[in-house]
Amino acid sequence: MSYEYERHLAHTIVLRQDAAEYAHCLAKNLMASLCIKSGDDLVPHIGCGTEDCNLQAVESWVYMVCTCLKLPFSADQLEVLEGLLQPTLSALSEQLGYPLQKEVSNVG
């Protein structure tokens, strides 16, 4: 293996680790902003199917969407990701027959 190829490979691994960390942060924010319930109901629908919980499924979804749409892994994409995920959650809730999001009551 050439030195340049090894450097490129190492750089690619670091970029993927950074992307995974950003995907995790974005997933946590999406869970909160969209009031997604904890549990594992989303795993077979939006994740890869091997995740343990909804947070991990959302994280996989974020990684796949940002990668496929060539979106930067940044907080600036939160609104875009919310706009993509909300209709999916609504459709899944309707199809499954139970809510995937917590009900939020406005106090005041």
Per-residue pLDDT of the chain (108 residues; tens, 9 = 90+): 676 766 655 545 555 778 888 999 999 999 999 999 999 999 999 989 999 999 999 999 999 999 999 999 889 999 999 999 999 999 999 999 999 999 877 665
Note whether residue 18 is domain-resident.
yes
Note whether residue 8 is domain-resident.
yes
When divided into structural domains, the chain yields a total of: 1
Note whether residue 31 is domain-resident.
yes
Q: How far is CA 105 from CA 35, 102, 108, in A?
A: 12, 10, 10
Note whether residue 19 is domain-resident.
yes
Q: Which domain holds residue 19?
A: 3-96
Note whether residue 101 is domain-resident.
no
pTM, two decimal places? 0.83
Note whether residue 102 is domain-resident.
no
Note whether residue 107 is domain-resident.
no
Q: Which sign, positive or negative, has the C-alpha torsion 68, 70, 74, 79?
A: negative
